[in-house]
Chain A
């Protein structure tokens, strides 16, 4: 077990190296150079050369890469020339906000998705099954930016039940209750697509298990269907469900970008979009690094969780 974990961690090294190379080279592909962007149109040829020297832009590419990586490993992702703030300082709080949104959405998506999937499987080929799966199909195909707007129209504009913008009220005292009311609509919006996928996967997974002989034995023993499903079928059905749910968490961490944009949620995705539009390359690079790293970590955790849940997957 320990050796497997070590092996898995070791296997991350080339992936992390690849990610750093892709992000670094991506920056270099951008037309125009950083020094000119910093100096603006007023920069003279000498000042340009001077700044390029100071930034190390006149050095060979591999030297630049090593220096960049070294600084990144020490938590220095450079300075944003647009907002004049260190990139890490700018992104950390946004990353926290995205984690709040993604975490809430994940809890919702996993609980609603698994519940709907189990229900549909237990009532296979009934109206309940068809309605649940039909709904998951429709909801799963809704563009999140559009669903968010629809929810705003219904719950914020027409019914006036919930706020439509930001994380806290501008005039309120703030606090957890305020945050939660602001969280409801964005979280539901972000939940829709991953929740639908989890529901379909859960249904398929549980249905497959329900066809096994040991389930027939459990039923023949006279166990209640509820026990058969919760104690016998779900135990075995967990690994694929956890895998697909874990993938969705990775998606949520980054994919909340539309929700953040629609609801003015000050997260990483929204920052990425505004930096892309402002062509703030330093921040785009930093955000890409944050997102890729969290994706890698989530995948690792899902793998290890599966080992814990499914003894058969453990190496002998």
Chain B
């Protein structure tokens, strides 16, 4: 029977699969902050997914009103930008790429980290030492700057931006997985499974993975908010998503050029970034508390 480790260092408690999930779900939904986070992300994500249906205007073509129209202009709730494009429509469409660029690197890094961390923690010895020393080198660079430098090497663009962000996250997530692996693998139930004749593959896949996933999931969910801010930053600097593609970071970047004439062009997309980052943080905190049996009681 697989068990679930709630947070690093606590002893896993055996529970039946379905009961465990309902308990988790109940704890998560009861948490008002987590629910708020979920609502925020659902609204913004839903709007982005339904962009072709709900976007009032085309995000790339100029509309027939003045450029830099202020918010509240009839037909243009949030006004227009420096090329007379509807800001609300660009925000809705921008959610597609901005959310993608924030989420994909985090998930990709999580998967790579799961593999590296499990191997490092389970095998220990030379391989562990080698993996951790290589990752140590990456800890010597500030996260965002390392991503900028990587983009510098491989060139700007959306794909490269996501790759760079994923690379800089791997060391952090790997450390989380490795710590969790180390704390679980010496527990008695692993010894019992081994005594029953389970091989390394089975121990890793059936018993260690389910136990290191919750801490990784919690960590990853708090990273998404950070990554949305970081990736919009790269696009703002001109190193990620390129104009005229609607993206929140790109919108702040191009709005910056007209900030003396129309502040709303740059400030409105930033508000969305803050709100969505907060939403993901709320979800992350909620996950942590819902997965922690001590906090649930």
Binding site for B on A (CB under 8 A): 14-15, 18-19, 21-22, 26-27, 29-31, 137-138, 141-147, 149-150, 152-153, 157, 250-251, 253-255, 257-258, 261-262, 269, 272-273, 275-277, 279, 281, 284, 287-288, 291-292, 295-296
Contact = CB atoms under 8 A, between A and B. Distances in A.
Interface in B144-193: 144-145, 148-156
B260 A149 contact: no
A76 to B, nearest CB: 20
A257 B149 contact: no
Contacts of A272: 145, 148-149, 152
B239 to A, nearest CB: 7
B13 interface: no
Given A149-B267, A253-B142, 11 more contacts: A26-B153, A142-B274, A144-B233, A149-B255, A257-B144, A258-B236, A272-B145, A277-B239, A279-B152, A281-B153, A295-B141
Nearest to A275: B152
A268 to B, nearest CB: 9
A275 B277 CA distance: 29
B139 to A, nearest CB: 8
B237 interface: yes
Contacts of B281: 137, 141
Q: Which of A29, A149, A277 lies at the interface centre, i.e. has the most chain B CB atoms within 10 A of its CB?
A: A149
Contact of B137 (A18, A254, A277): A18
A8 to B, nearest CB: 14
Contacts of B252: 143, 145-146, 149
Contacts of B63: none
Interface in B219-274: 225, 229, 232-233, 236-239, 249, 252-253, 255-256, 259-260, 263, 266-267, 269-270, 273-274
Contacts of A19: 137, 140-141
Contact of B140 (A30, A137, A255, A292): A292
Contacts of A291: 141-142, 145
Contacts of A157: 259-260, 263
A91 B140 CA distance: 19
B35 interface: no
B74 to A, nearest CB: 25
Size class of the contact patch on chain B: 35 or more
B26 interface: no
Q: 8 closest Cβ contacts across the A-B interface?
A: A146-B270, A254-B142, A18-B137, A276-B152, A254-B145, A141-B277, A153-B263, A284-B152
Given A141-B225, A145-B233, A145-B252, A257 B274 contact: no
A276 B149 contact: yes
B152 A18 contact: no
A257 B145 contact: yes
A157 B266 CA distance: 14
5 contacts: A149-B252, A149-B263, A258-B237, A277-B238, A277-B239
B136 interface: yes
Q: Which of A19, A152, A276, A287 lies at the interface centre, i.e. has the most chain B CB atoms within 10 A of its CB?
A: A276
Nearest to B236: A145
Given A137-B281, A279-B152, A143 B259 contact: no
A159 to B, nearest CB: 13
B133 A255 contact: no
Nearest to A261: B237
B278 interface: yes
A143 B278 contact: no
Nearest to B138: A22
A71 B279 CA distance: 49
